[in-house]
Amino acid sequence: MHPSARKYGVLLFVTGVTIFLGTAATPPSDDQFTHKVAAGESISLICIDYYGYYSEALGKAVVAENPSIKNIDLIYPNQVLTLRKPVEGAKTADKSIPVDSTSAVTPSSRQSGPDASGEALFVKKMSITQGVVTCVEGTVRLRRSASAKPQPLKINSIVVPGNSIETGADGRAEIIINREAVVRLREGTTTVLESFRPAAAGSGKTRIGCSVGALWTKVKKFKDRLSRFELELPTAIAGVHGTVYETTVATDSSSEVKVFSGEVAVSGGGGTKATGAASAPGAPSEVAGPHEIAPPQEVTMEHWTRIVRAMQKMTIDKEGAPSRPVTFTKTTTGDWERWNNERDRRIAALFGERER
């Protein structure tokens, strides 16, 4: 065989048919490794898995080392990527890129590229506070604030508290928050990112509000029993830990919580009501005109808490009255359930819940 054939690929002529076997992969160097892309993966998801975080600069650095990537938003199953081996953050902490979610509100404030050496980008950072869009299908829109115009939401985007996300009739999206919670939006869903828990802190909660639609949530298991994630429904709050569950909110503000593993503490009362984008910090609101003040009335919404365990569900009506948890049978006949189960298997590996 001619040496150039080994370098540039092989052409075989068999019964008049030309077959191109492709370019031989270059072995990685000592500071590199290879990753075969699995179905449903994105550059941001892969970076979060290996490096603990994602930034625009890190994504560009990965693309620069992989000429086969023509569009950072398009990678394909079985595509082999060459990645730098992650370096422990303590060794090069002074070179780390700031990726705090609060620094990425507008495109102009994001990092435009790697530093001169590029090495600092591949530092392992496991306590980064940020939200990253790791999957987008169909029509999905992002509002940077309640008064902002919607814009298309792209995969590999950084999202921050105060942003709201709306999926169209054909749209779905997945967001990884702090490498400890995954939220997926079904078609026709509106949700607002209210706050992200400081990842390095031992306390605090990530809060998300949903005014209509369906969310599938998976939260990483921790050794303690602290709740690090709360979902605000129109008439209740669901606090979770080490849980997989689905929440559906109807147009009349009634809702349903279905728990597939772990448990969810659903609480009501107190007049708290999640209203989607309008509840974002600093959101303008309409001031009502002069009107007669109604006399004092008895508050009928009672305070309550229900613990919903694995394979149980409960409903909360539009007035905030809860049902008792009841058991349900898991099915995999729906496309939404299958899609989430497939993606949860990949997220389980990211969370260290099973071996790949």
* Residue 91 pLDDT grade (very low, low, confident, very high; cuts 50, 70, 90): very low
Which domain range does residue 70 map to? 30-124
Bridge partner list, 238: 231, 266
For 188-215, what is the mean pLDDT? 93
Q: Enumerate residues 6+ apart whose C-beta is below 8 A from 239.
A: 205, 227, 229, 230, 264, 265, 266, 267
The domain total for the chain is 2
Q: Is the dihedral of CA 63, 68, 70, 74 positive or negative?
A: negative
Which of these three, 102, 124, 146, is where a domain ends?
Answer: 124
pLDDT tops 90 at residue 276 = no
- Quick check: is 20 in a domain? no
Distance, CA of 18 to CA of 349 (rounded, Å): 41
What dihedral do alpha carbons 106, 108, 113, 114 form, nearest 10°?
Answer: -70
Distance, CA of 9 to CA of 23 (rounded, Å): 4
Per-residue model confidence (pLDDT) at position 27: 64
Residue 80: its H or E element = strand 80-84
Per-residue model confidence (pLDDT) at position 199: 85
Quickly list DSSP for 127-193.
----EEEEEEES-EEEESSTTSPPEE--TT-EE-TT-EEEE-TT-EEEEEETTTEEEEE-TT-EEEE
- Quick check: is 66 in a domain? yes
DSSP letter at 48 equals: H
- Quick check: is 226 in a domain? yes
Per-residue model confidence (pLDDT) at position 342: 93
Mapping DSSP to helix (H, G, I), strand (E, B) and coil, where does residue 60 land? helix
Can you give the CATH number for the domain in which 259 is found? 2.60.120.1440
With beta carbons less than 8 A apart as the criterion, state whether 207 and 228 touch: no
Distance, CA of 206 to CA of 131 (rounded, Å): 10
pLDDT tops 50 at residue 143 = yes
- Quick check: is 13 in a domain? no
- Quick check: is 286 in a domain? no
Per-residue model confidence (pLDDT) at position 275: 40
Of the two residues 183 and 104, the one the predictor is more confident about is 183
With beta carbons less than 8 A apart as the criterion, state whether 176 and 182 touch: yes
Bridge partner list, 265: 239, 307
213 and 114 share one domain? no
Mean of the per-residue pLDDT values of the chain: 79
Least-confidence region, from 173-177, 236-240, 313-317: 236-240
For residue 9 the two structure tokens come to 């690929």
Per-residue model confidence (pLDDT) at position 225: 66
- Quick check: is 17 in a domain? no
211 and 256 share one domain? yes
pLDDT tops 60 at residue 204 = yes
Quickly list DSSP for 194-220.
EE---TTSSS--EEEEEEEEEEEEEE-
Which of these three, 77, 95, 124, is where a domain ends?
Answer: 124
232 and 315 share one domain? yes
Least-confidence region, from 39-53, 141-155, 342-356: 342-356
Per-residue model confidence (pLDDT) at position 89: 62
* Residue 352 pLDDT grade (very low, low, confident, very high; cuts 50, 70, 90): confident
Per-residue model confidence (pLDDT) at position 185: 98
pLDDT tops 70 at residue 207 = yes
* Residue 109 pLDDT grade (very low, low, confident, very high; cuts 50, 70, 90): very low
With beta carbons less than 8 A apart as the criterion, state whether 232 and 200 touch: no
CA distances from 56 to 38, 49, 306 (A): 21, 16, 42
Bridge partner list, 152: 141
pTM confidence score = 0.78
Residue 59: alpha-carbon gap to chain centroid: 17
Amino acid letter for position 253: S
- Quick check: is 11 in a domain? no
pLDDT tops 90 at residue 202 = no
pLDDT tops 50 at residue 283 = no
264 and 184 share one domain? yes
* Residue 286 pLDDT grade (very low, low, confident, very high; cuts 50, 70, 90): very low
* Residue 100 pLDDT grade (very low, low, confident, very high; cuts 50, 70, 90): very low
Tell which residue, 35, 88, 33, has the closest CA to residue 350: 35
45 and 107 share one domain? yes
177 and 221 share one domain? yes
pLDDT over 70, % of the chain? 72
Per-residue model confidence (pLDDT) at position 354: 59
For 325-334, what is the mean pLDDT? 86
- Quick check: is 89 in a domain? yes
Quickly list DSSP for 299-311.
-----EEEEEETT
204 and 333 share one domain? yes
160 and 88 share one domain? no
Largest Cα span, the chain:
94
Least-confidence region, from 133-137, 229-233, 293-297: 293-297
Tell which residue, 25, 56, 9, has the closest CA to residue 157: 56
Least-confidence region, from 47-56, 81-90, 137-146, 260-269: 81-90
Per-residue model confidence (pLDDT) at position 166: 98
44 and 98 share one domain? yes
For 173-196, what is the mean pLDDT? 97
pLDDT over 90, % of the chain? 60
Per-residue model confidence (pLDDT) at position 284: 36
Continuous H helices in 37-148: 43-51, 56-64
Which of these three, 103, 124, 145, is where a domain ends?
Answer: 124
344 and 199 share one domain? yes
For 273-277, what is the mean pLDDT? 41
Of the two residues 164 and 113, the one the predictor is more confident about is 164
256 and 193 share one domain? yes
191 and 103 share one domain? no
